[in-house]
Structure 1
Amino acid sequence: MIELSDRLEKFILEIPKVELHLHLEGAIPLNTLFGFIQRQGDNKLIKNLKDLKKRLVYSNFVKFIKVWLWKNSFITEYEDFEELAYRVLQSLSQQNVKYVEAFYSPRDFTFRNKKLSACGITESLIKGKKKAFDNFGIRSELIVDVVRDYGPRMGMNLI
């Protein structure tokens, strides 16, 4: 691994940045995800952040999908989406990111949780991004990820 001088590292942290391709659900800060897991209280294997980091390791695409679905299973309330957007944008603002275009996949959540709707998820994410703008000055836009696995009809219904 290449070591950066303190001066170069400081420069990289301080330059303004733009994030043009980010999946909100994949950028969730570990502390936020850990809080969601603890709130549900039914996952005895994740006792701390170290356990969580180990659980998020995968070696191939199939394992990645399993980890992705497992992680998503803890994002269950509209308030979670608001906090998710807020915490992701807070984390990015700490890296001096000024603008973000973030994808999100509402169908990944509404498919398993019938009490959630794509509109409700979107409204919650908008609340979180507005709060992040007010608190950190970070601008962001949301892009609905119409996951092709659900087929074209489902995609059109989502839009």
Structure 2
Amino acid sequence: MSLPFNPAAISADRLPELLRSMPKAELHMHIEGSLEPELIFALAQRNGVAIPYANVEALRQAYAFTNLQSFLDIYYAGASVLLKEQDFYDMAWAYLQRAAADQVLRTEMFFDPQTHTERGVAMETVVNGLHRACVDAKAKLGVDAQLILCFLRHLSEASAFETLEQALPFRDKFIGVGLDSSELGHPPEKFARVFARCRELGFHLVAHAGEEGPPAYVWSALDVLKVERIDHGVQSAKDPALMKRLAADRIPLTVCPLSNLKLCVFPDLRQHNLGALLDAGLVATVNSDDPAYFGGYLNTNFTETFAATGLTARHAWQLARNGFEGSFAGAEAKRAWLDRVDAHFAAFA
């Protein structure tokens, strides 16, 4: 594809502003992971929930993770303050305002109903609060926000089936299903039957694979679960045959650089393989994962990763386009957004 701009016209010192201002899609963001410490304490006070931290700063200092599980332990504790529909609305609205400020035009937000239903919070409370924020985001912020329901992989497939049945009365309020939580020891095929059922129901399918887990998990997500997108997928680089398949089939990877750094998937951001994935022809995208916990929302993921790895304006253009291409939006909306990307880069250069 020919570039709509001359990359040489964008100097390195102008690159951060380009990254901040370009139109974006975000395809891998857990809404519970956007719950900032200040809002956690506000909701805890509003709902009379006791949390094991003295103040906001003490909670922030606990964000020193050594792996995925050490993060999840704090993540689930933070979610305990979410009890009422307005709580879920307030959490989503806070993220959506930040997304709009980061020039996000489309976001497909993950939510984990089992995190809440297991605490006695009704599915209706969760979905309606989040969906109401999505509706307001379109009207008030110009952000096209959609929801993807995720099953927790450390729980059983029977629990996932039960969650699906609870959610079906609200199926018009979410566009797909995913698979998240502890990856190691919980291969995708554990959820083969529930994903087959979701496919029959017409939902879009995604799954976390190849973050801490091996490339084999990515193969299983593709061949057993039949997913359309791989969340994370950075371990795919260890399998040349898998890399070729991902490139040939245009399977998007929703990469989360600062999350990978925080969870020690890469010891240093300079060693991140985002550039290698792009140069191999993969539809890699940049996302914030759990931004309240991992040190930054979407623009911070872009600017810090580019600064550390030396990625260029050409990579920025490809990543911006990949985000919209990899979304589950309709063809007409995608074309309009891609045109905006090209026009923005042409004007900036």
Partner Cα separation in structure 1 for residue 68 and residue 20 of structure 2: 31
Give the alignment of 1:6-155 within 5 angstroms. 7-39=14-46, 40=48, 42-43=50-51, 45-48=53-56, 50-112=57-119, 114=120, 116-155=121-160
Q: CA deviation at 1:41?
A: 6.6
Answer yes or no: is the 8 Å Cα contact 1:15–1:96 preserved in 2: yes
Which amino acid in structure 2 is aligned with residue 47 of structure 1? N
- 1:87-127 superposed Cα distances (whole Å, 9 cap, x missing partner): 11111111111101111001111102x2x211321111101
Q: Provide structure 2 residue ranges, at least 5 long, that are not aligned to the other structure.
A: 1-11, 165-349
Q: Which has the higher contact order (CA 8 A, sep 6+)?
A: 1
Whichever residue aligns with residue 64 of structure 1, its letter is F
TM, length-normalised to structure 1: 0.83
**Letter in structure 2 aligned against 1:132:** A
Distance in 2 between the 1:31 and 1:91 partners? 15
Q: Kindly indicate whether the alpha-carbon contact (under 8 Å) linking 1:29 and 1:91 is maintained by their aligned counterparts in 2.
A: no
The alignment-based identity, stated in percent, is 22
Deviations 1:63-105, CA, capped at 9 Å, x for gaps: 2121111111122222111111111111111111110111100
The residue type equivalent to 1:42 in the other structure is: A
Q: Is the 8 A contact 1:29 1:87 kept in 2?
A: no
Partner of 2:156, secondary structure, is: helix
Distance 1:107 1:21, change over 3 A: same
Residue 128 of structure 1, CA deviation: 1.2
Given that residues 29 and 88 in structure 1 are in contact (C-alpha distance below 8 angstroms), is that contact kept between their aligned partners in structure 2?
Answer: no
CA distance in 2, matches of 1:42, 1:12: 40
Cα distance, 1:117–1:43 mapped onto 2, change above 3 Å: closer
Q: Distance in 2 between matches of 1:46 and 1:16?
A: 39
Does the 8 A contact of 1:19 with 1:99 survive in 2? yes
Q: TM-score, normalised by structure 2?
A: 0.40
Root-mean-square deviation (CA, aligned residues, Å) is: 2.1
Change (3 A) 1:97 1:29: farther
| CA distance, structure 2, for counterparts of residue 31 and residue 136 of structure 1 | 23
The alpha-carbon deviation at position 38 of structure 1 amounts to 4.2
Contact 1:81 1:124 in 2 (8 A): yes
| Alpha-carbon distance change, 126 to 45 in structure 1, aligned in 2, over 3 angstroms | same
Q: For each residue in 1:112-155, what CA deviation from the matched residue of structure 2 results, as whole angstroms up to 9, or x when unmatched? A: 2x2x2113211111011112222211011101102233322221
Runs of 4+ in 1 over 6 A off after TM superposition: none
Stretch of structure 1 that moved more, 29-38 or 52-61: 29-38
CA distance in 2, matches of 1:20, 1:122: 18
Structure ID, larger Rg: 2
Cα gap change, 1:25 to 1:44, in 2 (>3 Å):
closer
- Note the C-alpha offset of 1:32: 2.7
